[in-house]
Structure 1
Amino acid sequence: MIEAHQFVEAARERGFDWYAGVPCSYLTPFINYVLQEPSLRYVSVANEGDAVALIAGVALSGATGLSHRRGIAMMQNSGLGNAVSPLTSLTWTFRLPQLLIVTWRGQPGVADEPQHALMGPITPAILEKMEIPWELFPTEPDAIVPALDRSIAHMDKTGRPYALVMQKGSVASYPLKSSMAVVSTNKTTSCVFSKWRGLEPIFRPSQYQALQKVIEKTPTTSTVVFASTGFCGRVLYAIDDRPNQLYMVGSMGCVVPLALGFALARPDLRVVILDGDGAALMRMGAFATVGAYGLSNIQHLLLDNGVHNSTGGQATVSPHLSFAGVATACGYASSLETDDIEEIDTWLSSVPSAGPRFACLLTRIAMPKNLPRPSMTPVDVKTRLMRHIAVTGAN
């Protein structure tokens, strides 16, 4: 058994200063220790996939030059199911490394609850199928540094995650002061602000028109734009392929936690998140995380056409809810819901508020013809962006 500080401080010396995760009793000493260290950051997320995406955003932010910043995603092994999508189509695809600490509930030969009876035995195989090398979490002090060094060597060589699988009783308990148990926020939230022209759906602005506005209002010298998977990124690319843009592929719904991780690590840069109704519905818990932790450098723009456009136009349930209402309830500093593209133009130019800002634009359904896909690979898009922010942004 080791002490929490022995691992965390050794990791800090090697550049690991960001943590995100979903609690497990095995992880409690780590979480408690990190929460009480002002120079370390822990973000409590809604699900394990969001933790992976958020730490991927931290890695993308860079530490110096083109080096990935180091972070740790922590989860119970039951949460690997929630994390499969970003681990296979975000971190693997874009080469965004991170250290995973995965607890081993239901480990063969160790009595546990019935819900872990299947996941326990197959945890190693799941990691191996995802091409994530793993080893047992160190339980002796002199094993910590070699394990960290092996993980770093793999991440630096491949740009992909490495996992430490934690057995029961690996880390001694560490108390948490009661004042640290709740996420604190000083943001003031405004009421939902709606401006409607009452347009029939066929007369609403198009996604293309909205993204033209985004490009006009997001200078490359100070802004990074994250585009959700599907047509959103492809339309943005077709209008103008710029070095400050990242086009998501796969990992549906993960653009928000990815961009949040980046924005928290790079408060010197304005971050514009381009979201869609289908993607937002898939991981709506990320709204709450942005509301709790997000800074004034975040603008979250959701283009709502009421369908899954890139898969044939199947309807979503977005007409039955208010995304701006959700954002307001989740703690965004301001929320706008409109079918007027000029309101979005004004919103994009608005002065930053005390926290993250949200806007939802109702758009018409449009099936673009001959829409190109980015000619660059995802890794090349990532590398170009990292090179760009290393030059234009203050690290």
Structure 2
Amino acid sequence: MTRHIFTHPVMRRVCSFALRRMSSDARQMKLSPAFFHQCVTDIGVNFFTGVPDSLLSDYCAYVQVNVPETDHVIAANEGNAVGLAAGYHLATGHPGLVYLQNSGLGNTVNPLMSLTSPKVYSIPLLLLIGWRGQPGVKDEPQHFAQGQITPDMLKLMDIPCRILPRDETAAKMVVQEADQHFKTKKSPFSILVEASTFSEFKQPPLQANFPLLREEALKTVVDALEESDIIVATTGKLSRELFEYRESKGEGHEKEFLTVGSMGHASSIALGIAKHQLDRKVVCLDGDGAALMHLSAMATVGQRAPSNFKHIIFNNGCHDSVGGQPTEASHHETFSFGGIALACGYRKTLIAETAEELVTGTRQLLDTEGPVLMEIKLSVGSRSNLGRPTRTPIENKSDFMKYLGSA
């Protein structure tokens, strides 16, 4: 009797090899941002908003270059973006697209469940989500927990979830499935984007007429600190630069807490420390995109008014760690972190644009009763060989708490 080819041991090995080869070839394929964009506009999606993500950087760059400002808003946080897309639908009857990293799903839960849900206002929108921390894919430790629960989280919210294929025909079918969902269910639909899904698309670099780069400004600030001062550093490249600077000087890392995840919460973490470590200056090293994400934290800092709180915002006007897309803080003539801080109750604000102003401003910042804020205006860019912390978040926390005497 002749065996079925898939039960024959030799043929089974051949088929297994072929499937692995096909899977490998599929992973090497790239989806054109232009093609995907055409797919979503073909179903009537013409408004785009969100917070940039490294896995979506090529598509975000395509949108930045090809979509007019009236139809594209880089939001302060992901919940804001859902609200913007909801408003667009109410005004036009069409669904919008919200792009985000899966770590930002937490910011969307309230508006997704209490605004867009079919049990409330039933508002369709397309969620394009970068899947950081995907199981089985190498990534940074701050993404592991969120990566594991992302599909289940969407399922619990009753939001259909599909992985974006790299094949054009299959990708188009997923977008058409979303369109059918919008027409029948009138609620959100999500597409997960794996690493290296999109082919490369570069946007023109942002122009900033300021002489300082973030890394050199950071070194100036760190060198001015006193022995007992501690740092809370924001997520992204700033924390990586701080770690490498300490390494280059042969110093330990026990005096700083590196906020590798939870973008936008560095100032709140620093406030919690400052209120309970009154004999130390607590220096929060923030970024413009991170500060904007949870800008309301400045109100709490200003009104709680810890005298030992020193807030520095490194403003290069872009989301530097995920592709260089502009933030609202890039509009230097009409936007002022200092004005916001004063309105929130900060005692003093400073601005530094040159090396000389930075040296003088850092000295004033450290000598002034807080809360006090200094905005450093910077050019865009970082080293191409910038590394990542070699100590784990748990090790960083342990070292930091031992130094504070709280372990």
Give the structure-1-normalised TM-score: 0.48
Structure of higher CA gyration radius: 2
